[in-house]
């Protein structure tokens, strides 16, 4: 007896899918045509300013602010998360207080506070508490607009990141710590070599979201007249009154930058997913091609 | 090698060990039997100081576990000293606890490099030898997720051996395995016993106990009920509780 023939069946008809697709396409076409034809959008002005040197400079500022603030946020976040899990109640309490304060007040208020820090502390001293100080400077020369920007966005981000990192650390099975301990590793080694690398898998996706939020939150520095992307656009429309076209220019650049972050996130997630999926990694292309019948493809275990 | 005198362990109000006395000599294999919840696993974890005992004395190789005695007082050991002592004791877990983000080779070579301070090349060579010894020479670059349970447990044994332990503790090493994979792990353990390793094995594998153990201990509700040679305990148990347990598992 030979192998039976492959099944060749007529697929089920799904008229609902076609109708739904047609409705969506129709609505999309209507939306696009209204956007393109509306006079208020002033597309020729958009084109004129899209690659304006001031706009490009603003976009560049937004990128490095996002990068620096995320670095500060992640470092503070890991530190605060590890402190939060410390058996020492003073250490974990300090971390709790930090998170409570920076998550509990609006970011915009924090930005304004840091810019007006000179009103609160006219001079700033750095040194041993209640002991000698090494630096004694007027606040305005120490907390420059850049420092204030980094402090406000970075400190706020650290509070959010610490909760993300803590969730990642808790998600790692306790047996991992047992095994590492039984091999003679110290607490610091276990955290660095065993727990954090595994926690990464849980930490990365929300960190991607945080980075995208951060990119947009840099626009809050507008209130402090910091020349990031939005303020650069505003400086132009303050002169020529083309408010809407310049906001569109800024929006286009924000979209371009967040799209780049999406792609970066995909590759980082793949890197830290090592050892967790039996299946070969599915490429972006395969995912798009397989879009229609995902039920059959099956996700990672 | 291991000596326990009146060892007590509480978790909150729950008393898990209520005075355990036993002794394992160098080169001996002790098999611990008993129903779940009888305190066998907790006792193993105490030996490795993964848990702190509340009362009694517990020593490995003549040194107290977790404490230093001087002037009639016990002093807690520093974390670093505890870690150094743990490194001399191999521990095998029911669920293997391999590091999933590392290959088999990296799992085995990690502690020699990071804890024992052996160079990468030397550690890699040793890890390869050990994996070959447990029959996994062809799985060096494989991540744990792609290994069967039996293979994972054998990598775990190689990982523990890489630190050249003087004592190995096995906490139900085959309980999470499919029946047909139990044999390959027991074979490796038999070989270890033949090579003279001191071992304490918590298991339900009666065949292994009968064949390999020098001493069998039956525990129930935090006490050692009965101990002796496999011939005595398994074939002629004196206590009613032991008889009842054996009649169910044999």
User: What tens digit of pLDDT does each residue of B64-79 get?
Assistant: 998 888 888 888 899 8
Distant-in-sequence, close-in-space partners of A72: CB < 8 Å, separation ≥ 6: A150, A153, A154, A155, A157, A158
Q: Once rounded to an integer, what is the mean pLDDT over residues A151-177?
A: 94
User: In terms of DSSP bridges, do strands B29-33 and B198-202 run parallel, antiparallel, or are they unpaired?
Assistant: parallel
Kindly state whether A197 is in contact with chain B, defined as any CB-CB distance less than 8 angstroms. yes
Under an 8 A CB cutoff, do A182 and B110 touch?
no
Nearest CB to A197; choose among B80, B87, B101: B101
Nearest-Å Rg of the Cα atoms of chain B is: 18
Under an 8 A CB cutoff, do A275 and B159 touch?
no
d(CA B160, CA B171): 13
Interface A-B, measured as beta-carbon pairs within 8 A, has a size of 79
Under an 8 A CB cutoff, do A184 and B90 touch?
no
Share of residues in chain A with pLDDT > 90 (%): 56
Distant-in-sequence, close-in-space partners of B90: CB < 8 Å, separation ≥ 6: A182, B157, B160, B161, B163, B165, B167, B168, B169
Residues in chain A: 301
Distant-in-sequence, close-in-space partners of B154: CB < 8 Å, separation ≥ 6: B134, B135, B136, B184, B185, B188
d(CA B39, CA B44): 9
Chain B residues touching residue A186 (CB < 8 angstroms): 79-80, 83
Q: How far apart are the first and last CA of chain B?
A: 30
Nearest to A61 by CA among A218, A243, A245: A218
Determine the pLDDT at residue A145. Answer: 83
Chain B residues touching residue A178 (CB < 8 angstroms): 50, 91, 93, 97
Nearest chain B alpha carbon to A198:
B101
Minimum distance, in Å, between the CA of residue A174 and any CA atom of chain B: 9
Kindly state whether B160 is in contact with chain A, defined as any CB-CB distance less than 8 angstroms. yes
Kindly state whether B22 is in contact with chain A, defined as any CB-CB distance less than 8 angstroms. no
Chain A residues touching residue B93 (CB < 8 angstroms): 175, 178-179
Share of residues in chain A with pLDDT > 70 (%): 90
Nearest chain A alpha carbon to B165:
A183
At A133, the pLDDT band (50, 70, 90 cuts) reads confident
Chain B residues touching residue A274 (CB < 8 angstroms): 101, 143
Return the minimum-mean-pLDDT range out of A78-92, A139-153, A248-262, B34-48. Answer: A139-153
Determine the pLDDT at residue A288. Answer: 43
Kindly state whether B80 is in contact with chain A, defined as any CB-CB distance less than 8 angstroms. yes
Spell out, as residue ranges, where chain B has pLDDT lower than 50. none
Distant-in-sequence, close-in-space partners of B172: CB < 8 Å, separation ≥ 6: B41, B94, B202, B203, B204
Distance of CA B55 to the CA centre of its chain: 22
Contact, A197 vs A208, CB < 8 A? no
Determine the pLDDT at residue A1. Answer: 60
Under an 8 A CB cutoff, do B79 and A277 touch?
no
A182, two tokens: 């039984």
Kindly state whether A88 is in contact with chain B, defined as any CB-CB distance less than 8 angstroms. no
Nearest CB to B143; choose among A180, A194, A274: A274
Kindly state whether A178 is in contact with chain B, defined as any CB-CB distance less than 8 angstroms. yes
Reported ipTM: the value is 0.91
Contact, B189 vs B234, CB < 8 A? no
Chain A residues touching residue B160 (CB < 8 angstroms): 182-183
At A280, the pLDDT band (50, 70, 90 cuts) reads very low
Query: Quick one: which H or E segment has residue B14?
Result: strand B14-24
Task: Concatenate the DSSP letters of all residues of A162-207 into one string.
Answer: HHHHHHHHHHS-HHHHHHHHHTT--HHHIIIIIIHHHHHHHHHHHH
At A54, the pLDDT band (50, 70, 90 cuts) reads very high
At A276, the pLDDT band (50, 70, 90 cuts) reads low
Minimum distance, in Å, between the CA of residue A95 and any CA atom of chain B: 24
Q: Once rounded to an integer, what is the mean pLDDT over residues A129-143?
A: 74
Nearest to B113 by CA among B98, B129, B103, B124: B124
Task: List the Cα angle B244/B189/B207 in 5-degree steps.
Answer: 30
b/e sequence A264-282, b meaning 16+ C-beta within 10 Å: ebeeeeeebebbebeeeee
Minimum distance, in Å, between the CA of residue B61 and any CA atom of chain A: 17
Q: What is the DSSP letter of B204?
A: -
Best of B87, B101, B117 to disrupt the A interface (most A CBs within 10 Å) is: B101
At A277, the pLDDT band (50, 70, 90 cuts) reads low
d(CA A58, CA A54): 6
- pLDDT per residue over B101-144, tens digit each? 999 999 999 999 999 999 999 999 999 999 999 999 999 999 99
- pLDDT per residue over B49-61, tens digit each? 999 999 999 999 9
| Residues 30-49, chain B, touching A (beta carbon < 8 A) | 48
Contact, A167 vs A85, CB < 8 A? no
**A46 vs A2 pLDDT, higher one:** A46
Chain A residues touching residue B112 (CB < 8 angstroms): none
Nearest chain A alpha carbon to B48:
A182
Determine the pLDDT at residue A275. Answer: 64
Determine the pLDDT at residue B70. Answer: 85
Residues in chain B: 250
| Residues 258-277, chain A, touching B (beta carbon < 8 A) | 274-277
Nearest chain B alpha carbon to A301:
B145
Nearest to A228 by CA among A115, A146, A112, A151: A146
Q: How far is CA A98 from CA A115, A126, A158, B153, B163, in A?
A: 20, 20, 9, 43, 42
Q: What are the helix (H) ranges across chain A?
A: 15-37, 43-50, 53-84, 89-104, 107-115, 117-120, 139-142, 145-171, 174-182, 187-189, 196-217, 229-240, 243-272, 284-289, 294-297
What share of residues in chain B are helix, strand, coil (percent, to 5)?
40, 25, 35
The residue assigned the tokens 């001191």 is: B198
Q: How far is CA A293 from CA A289, A290, B124, in A?
A: 9, 6, 45
d(CA A241, CA A219): 20
């Amino acid at each position: 007896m030979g192998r039976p023939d492959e099944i060749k069946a007529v697929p089920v008809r799904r008229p609902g899918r076609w109708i739904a697709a047609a409705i969506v396409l129709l609505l999309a076409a209507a939306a696009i045509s209204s956007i393109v034809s509306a006079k208020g959008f002033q597309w020729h002005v958009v084109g004129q300013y899209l690659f304006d040197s001031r706009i490009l400079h603003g976009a560049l500022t937004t990128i490095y602010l996002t990068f620096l603030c995320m670095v500060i946020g992640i470092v503070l976040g890991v530190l605060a998360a590890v402190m939060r899990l410390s058996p020492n109640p003073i250490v974990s309490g300090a971390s709790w207080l930090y998170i409570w304060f920076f998550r509990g007040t609006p970011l915009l208020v924090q930005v304004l506070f840091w810019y007006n820090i000179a009103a609160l502390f006219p001079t700033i001293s750095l040194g041993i508490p209640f002991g000698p100080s090494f630096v004694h400077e007027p606040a305005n020369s120490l907390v420059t607009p850049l420092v204030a920007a980094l402090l406000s966005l970075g400190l706020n981000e650290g509070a959010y990141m610490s909760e993300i990192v803590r969730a990642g650390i808790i998600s790692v099975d306790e047996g991992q710590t047992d095994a590492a301990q039984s091999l003679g590793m110290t607490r610091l080694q276990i955290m660095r070599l065993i727990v954090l690398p595994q926690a990464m898998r849980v930490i990365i996706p929300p960190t991607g979201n945080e980075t995208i939020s951060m990119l947009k939150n840099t626009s809050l520095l507008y209130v402090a007249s910091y020349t990031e992307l939005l303020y650069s656009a505003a400086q132009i429309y303050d002169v020529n009154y083309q408010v809407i076209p310049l906001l569109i220019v800024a929006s286009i650049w924000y979209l371009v930058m967040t799209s780049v972050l999406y792609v970066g996130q995909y590759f980082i997630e793949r890197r830290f997913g090592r050892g967790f999926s039996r299946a070969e990694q599915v490429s972006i292309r395969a995912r798009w091609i397989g879009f229609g019948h995902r039920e059959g493809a099956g996700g990672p275990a | 090698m291991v000596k326990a005198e009146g060892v007590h362990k509480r978790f909150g109000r729950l008393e898990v060990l209520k005075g355990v006395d036993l002794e394992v000599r160098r080169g001996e294999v002790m098999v611990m039997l008993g129903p779940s919840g009888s305190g066998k696993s907790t006792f193993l974890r105490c030996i490795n100081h993964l848990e702190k005992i509340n009362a009694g004395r517990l020593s490995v190789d003549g040194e107290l576990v977790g404490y230093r005695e001087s002037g009639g007082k016990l002093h807690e050991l520093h974390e670093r000293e505890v870690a150094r002592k743990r490194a001399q004791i191999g521990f095998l877990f029911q669920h293997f606890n391999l590091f999933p983000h590392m290959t088999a080779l990296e799992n085995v070579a990690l502690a020699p490099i990071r804890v024992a301070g052996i160079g990468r090349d030397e550690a890699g060579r040793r890890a390869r030898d050990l994996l070959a010894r447990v029959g996994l020479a062809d799985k060096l670059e494989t991540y744990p997720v792609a290994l069967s349970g039996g293979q994972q447990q054998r990598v775990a044994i190689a990982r523990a051996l890489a630190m050249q332990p003087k004592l190995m503790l096995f906490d139900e090493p085959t309980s999470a395995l499919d029946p047909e994979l139990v044999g390959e792990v027991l074979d490796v353990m038999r070989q270890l016993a033949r090579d003279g390793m001191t071992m304490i094995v918590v298991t339900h594998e009666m065949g292994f106990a009968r064949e390999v153990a020098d001493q069998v201990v039956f525990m129930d509700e935090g006490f050692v009920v009965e101990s002796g040679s496999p011939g005595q305990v398994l074939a002629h148990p004196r206590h009613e509780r032991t008889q009842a347990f054996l009649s169910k598992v044999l």
